[in-house]
Amino acid sequence: MLVSSKHRRHLIRRGAVVAFLAISLSGCGFATAQSPLNPAGPVAQIQAGLITSSFWIMMIVSAVVFTALVVAVIRFRARPGQRGLPPQTEGNNRVEFLWTVTPAIILALMMIGTIKESFVLGKIYPASQALQVDVTGHQFWWEFQYPSANITTANELHIPVGEKVELVLTSADVMHSFWVPRLGGKTDLIPGRTNYMWIEASQPGIYHGQCAEFCGTGHADMRITVDAEPPARYAAWVQSMSHPVSIPPKSNTLAYQGYLDFAAAGCSSCHTIAGTNYNGAVGPNLTDLSDRLMIAANLIPNTLANREAWIHDPQAVKPGALMPNLHLPMNEVRAIATYLGTLR
């Protein structure tokens, strides 16, 4: 098809408008998005403050530089009849001094703020001053251990609002990175090494995050949910984790069958359920499974149908998942999925 040049220009202009809208609107959904520019706690607040102040300093510098550039281009442009080079200025001490010292002062100001906050952010709180949670990265899920309460859970991190939480980070396999943007920046989890970061949520709520260091096929589906709860609700969660509901009564026939099948099918060789003698340590701890909003490391909602789909064929749900497909008959899948729905 032949397109006139006018028509083509029109198309290009329209394409540009669409591209502009797509790019600018892609940042929408601000309130719930994983955005470091919408901090929900002191760590993220400090980091957002540093980046916004650097941003505005850079904007002012750019405005000054580009204004000077435009003025110079217009004022000193070649005039009709002008021949040869205009008079050359060189070695003006005052100008040299100004453009050396001014940037140095600006950079020093930015450096002072950054260094000051680095000490605040880099502080490692002992267990007496912050709730300690040991975080272990696994391909492709998160393990959370609370040494003070002797609790282990996975993928959904419960924290009390308004309290400092010291995360002690390591990895069981390859490098991962813990990133919940509204609570704080990224910190790597490195095998054989311990890293630290503290976070605090100022408001109750669900904060989303994800692994931020490529770790294999399932990397993009290695998500984090932080459930920041008022202290009383957090304490209730700790209580319920310490007294888990883990074996259904025999009268609940299907769930009880699922409880038995869980061992018979081999699930218990990889998964722990506190309150039973299932204590596998390869996959996520399932003790509080029915409390979790999502499964498969926060990939799909925790419904009976989704639990069945997961047990039936994990890789179909989450490519690269390291839980094997055990090829169970559908009635066994249903019984186990029902049983998992009773775990609190």
Contact 245, 342 (CB under 8 A): yes
Contact 234, 242 (CB under 8 A): no
Contact 168, 208 (CB under 8 A): no
Name the residue nearer to Cu ion (CB basis): 222 or 317.
Answer: 222
Partner whose footprint covers residue 326, from ligand HEC, Cu ion, none (CB < 5 to 8 Å by kind)? ligand HEC
Which residues here bind ligand HEC, judged by CB under 6 A?
140-141, 154-155, 218, 265-267, 269-271, 282-284, 286, 292, 295-297, 307, 310-311, 318, 321-324, 326, 328, 336, 340
Name the residue nearer to ligand HEC (CB basis): 48 or 226.
Answer: 226
Residue 228 phi/psi, 5° resolution? -90, 120
Contact residue for Cu ion among 157, 161, 211, 289 (CB under 5 A): 211
Partner whose footprint covers residue 44, from ligand HEC, Cu ion, none (CB < 5 to 8 Å by kind)? none
Strand partners, 195: 169
| Sole window of 149-157, 213-221, 271-279, 323-331 interacting with Cu ion (rule: CB under 5 A) | 213-221
Contact 271, 284 (CB under 8 A): yes
195, with CB counted inside 10 A (0-12, 13-18, 19+), is middle
Q: How far apart are CA 135 and CA 183, in angstroms?
A: 16
Minimum Å gap between C-beta 283 and Cu ion is 15
Contact residue for Cu ion among 130, 215, 228, 265 (CB under 5 A): 215
Contact residue for Cu ion among 158, 176, 223, 312 (CB under 5 A): 176
Contact residue for Cu ion among 133, 222, 255, 289 (CB under 5 A): 222
Whose structure tokens read 């054989």?
A: 192
Name the residue nearer to ligand HEC (CB basis): 164 or 292.
Answer: 292
Q: How far apart are CA 332 and CA 253, in angstroms?
A: 13
Task: State the DSSP code for 53.
Answer: H
Minimum Å gap between C-beta 265 and ligand HEC is 4
**Inter-CA distances, 147 with 140, 185, 285, Å:** 23, 24, 15
Name the residue nearer to ligand HEC (CB basis): 157 or 199.
Answer: 157
Name the residue nearer to Cu ion (CB basis): 53 or 217.
Answer: 217
Q: How far apart are CA 51 and CA 215, in angstroms?
A: 27
Binding site for Cu ion (CB under 5 A): 176, 211, 215, 222
